[in-house]
């Protein structure tokens, strides 16, 4: 199953909540788990308030766990899904394939780009997180200051350094959280976790 983004993104998703679910699979059960994952993905993506769904698959020789990341528009929507009978039924069906129990970690606020504090999944080394984040922020900052802000000034936005900084940083953060990093971390996954 490909990592997909839910099509119905909520416009007021700035107070969202994220759950990171970690599954360690029994030896020889990966095909069964993948089939289960495809099924649960379809029902999860239909959940009310879902913004984004991602799967980070194991990297051979580096990681052994599947990490499923779901972002919801609010903590209430996330709790509604996590406590639903539908999810409970999914977890009952996957238990025979798991080497350990269903592990998850919930956080509200900004989305996690790599893995949240306290998650069981191994984090990439800090210097790789730094380089990946910097390589995304730098072109976004340039594009905002060299392209977007001049267009806004041409449309009548006053030339005030504080306002420019506020608008520019807001655009960069929004693009990082909702557009760039969810895709960029998937693209760079092998490099991030390689030793």
3-class state of residue 53 by DSSP: strand
pLDDT at residue 33 in the model: 93
Q: How far is CA 161 from each of CA 86, 164, 168, 172, 177, rounded to the nearest angstrom?
A: 51, 5, 10, 16, 24
Q: Is 21 exposed, middle or buried (0-12, 13-18, 19+ CB in 10 A)?
A: buried
Is the pLDDT at 112 greater than 90, yes or no? no
Domains by residue range for the chain, with CATH: 17-112 (3.30.70.100), 126-193 (no CATH)
What is the average pLDDT across 69-84?
A: 87
pLDDT tens digits for range 85-95: 998 999 999 99
Q: Percent of the chain, pLDDT > 70?
A: 78
- CB within 8 Å of 53: residues ≥ 6 apart: 3, 4, 5, 6, 41, 44, 45, 68, 69, 70, 71
CB 18, CB 69: distance < 8 Å: yes
172 confidence band (pLDDT: 50, 70, 90): confident
pLDDT tens digits for range 148-162: 888 888 898 888 888
């Amino acid at each position: 199953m490909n990592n997909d983004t839910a099509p119905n993104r909520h416009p007021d998703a700035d107070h969202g909540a994220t759950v990171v679910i970690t599954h360690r699979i029994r030896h020889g059960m990966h095909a069964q788990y993948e089939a289960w994952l495809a099924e649960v993905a379809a029902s999860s993506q239909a959940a009310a308030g879902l913004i984004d769904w991602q799967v980070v698959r194991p990297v051979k020789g580096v990681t052994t766990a599947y990490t499923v990341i779901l972002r919801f528009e609010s903590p209430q929507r996330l709790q509604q899904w996590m406590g639903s009978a539908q999810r409970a039924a999914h977890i009952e069906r996957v238990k025979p394939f798991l080497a350990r129990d269903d592990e998850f970690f919930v956080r509200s606020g900004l989305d996690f780009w790599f893995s949240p504090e306290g998650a069981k999944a191994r984090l990439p080394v800090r210097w790789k997180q730094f380089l990946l984040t910097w390589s995304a922020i730098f072109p976004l900052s340039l594009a905002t200051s060299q392209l977007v802000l001049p267009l806004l000034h041409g449309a009548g936005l006053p030339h005030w350094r504080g306002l420019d900084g506020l608008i520019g940083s807001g655009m960069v953060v929004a693009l990082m959280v909702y557009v760039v990093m969810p895709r960029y971390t998937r693209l760079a996954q092998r490099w991030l976790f390689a030793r």
